Amino acid sequence: MTTANNVPTVSLGDELSVSAIGFGAMALTPVYGDVDDVESLATLHRSIDLGVTFIDTANIYGNGDNERLIARLLADRRDEVTLATKFGIAGNPTDRAAGRPRIRGDAAYVRQCLDESLQRLQTDVVDLYYMHRRDTSVPIEETVGAMAELVAAGKVRHLGLSEVTADELRAAVAVHPIAAVQSEWSIWSRDVERNVVPAAVELGVGFVPYSPLGRGFLAGAVRSRADLASANDFRKTMPRFRDDALDANLAVVDAVTSVAEQQGATPAQVALAWLRNRADALGVSSVPIPGTRRAARIAENVGSLAVTLTPEQLDALEAAGAAVSGTRFEDMSWVSAGRE
């Protein structure tokens, strides 16, 4: 089966089918610099035109502004979009600095966030609703139970979980079917391959990799020490850009670029093709959600579906990826690998 412009669809879990490439709308927020809503909306429309119809947002992106932006897309094209949003990262930096919880998973908060998201999105149903981060002070059964009630109420079609451990995923599936786990996964970030991906395979859950181009590397165009000097503060704080790790990680950029030259493809296309191959090798149904502000990049990402890597190229990329240095977050409790 294919979507518009021959982008194939992929079945995740719980009978949810989405376009084989998704769009990560966090890119259309100020976290990476100033944004222009007119340009952002044009990029979203181009995504749908090209068949990239799986759109991923969250209530926290731009403090709700990202959902409001996507509402403008949905106004004319709701039936063409598979819409995912999230809850769980609470408040704003000022609230968190004051000591208020930065993650919430209690049932009342789940219900509150969904109603607020529906209002911002100007729609009556979300296709895929994610728990954005795990609130370890609340049993996951309570959080997923509240999410399941939203499915029963017709406000949500499918459930997802972001950055959960294998055991957390098993506990959640015991409450309600889970369509997808979303976690960082790329040639630079492979910790999910140890436990979470095998659990997803075991349980019939799909996988949605965010930052599939490597946070700050191909996506952020940090391909040398000179590039890092001009990068924004968000990237400079990442452990993988520190002096003791940077050279090893830039070597992966070199390896990806070399394979791209051999393929007549772009480095981003090779990185996405590697991830697709890796997911196939591990037996997990997977749809990455690269984000971009530029409409032309969407066509480039779709082009990755036509890239077939040779065994020799896969070996070279495997060797490069095995040398990645540094953790993907300063506070690893923020992600699944820190709780396994």
pLDDT digits (tens, 9 = 90+) for 78-110: 999 999 999 999 866 555 555 566 899 999 999
Does 268 map to a domain? Answer: no
Looking at the DSSP assignment, which residues form a beta bridge with residue 161?
131, 181
DSSP 74-112: HHHHGGG-EEEEEE-B-S-HHHHHTT--SB---HHHHHH
**113-150 exposure pattern, b = at least 16 Cβ within 10 A, e = fewer:** bbeebbebbebebbbbbbbbbbbeebebeebbebbbbb
Query: For residues 294 and 207, which has the higher predicted lDDT (pLDDT)?
Result: 207
Does 340 map to a domain? Answer: no
Does pLDDT of 225 surpass 70? no
Q: What is the pLDDT of residue 233?
A: 53
Structure-block tokens of residue 266: 């772009």
Q: Which residues are CB-neighbours of 125 under 8 A, at least 6 positions away? A: 118, 154, 155, 156, 157
Q: What is the pLDDT of residues 66-78, one digit of tens each?
A: 999 999 999 999 9
Nearest to 47 by CA among 39, 55, 35: 55
Q: How confident is the model at residue 232 (pLDDT cuts 50, 70, 90)?
A: low
Does 290 map to a domain? Answer: yes
CATH of the domain at 291: 3.20.20.100
Q: How confident is the model at residue 156 (pLDDT cuts 50, 70, 90)?
A: very high
Structure-block tokens of residue 131: 């728990």
Q: Which of 61, 109, 130, 210 is catalytic?
A: 61
Number of alpha carbons in the 13 Å side-chain half-sphere of residue 77: 21
Does pLDDT of 277 surpass 80? yes
Does pLDDT of 291 surpass 80? yes
| Residue 210 designated active-site | no
Q: What is the mean pLDDT of the chain?
A: 91
Does pLDDT of 238 surpass 80? no
Does 201 map to a domain? Answer: yes
Does 287 map to a domain? Answer: yes
Instruction: State the Cα–Cα distance between residues 86 and 114, nearest whole angstrom.
Output: 8
- The percent of residues in the chain predicted with pLDDT above 90, rounded, is 74
Does 74 map to a domain? Answer: yes
- The percent of residues in the chain predicted with pLDDT above 70, rounded, is 89
Does pLDDT of 6 surpass 70? yes
Does 339 map to a domain? Answer: no
Does 304 map to a domain? Answer: no
Does pLDDT of 234 surpass 60? no
The count of domains in the chain is 1
Q: What is the pLDDT of residue 248?
A: 83
Q: List the domain range (segments joined by +) for residue 210.
A: 4-222+275-299
Query: For residues 225 and 14, which has the higher predicted lDDT (pLDDT)?
Result: 14
Q: What is the pLDDT of residue 235?
A: 58
Q: What is the pLDDT of residues 21-37, one digit of tens each?
A: 999 999 998 876 778 89
Cβ atoms of 44 and 297 within 8 Å: the answer is: no
Q: What is the pLDDT of residue 236?
A: 58
Average pLDDT over residues 2-13: 78
CB atoms within 10 A of CB 179: 26
Instruction: State the Cα–Cα distance between residues 25 and 122, nearest whole angstrom.
Output: 17
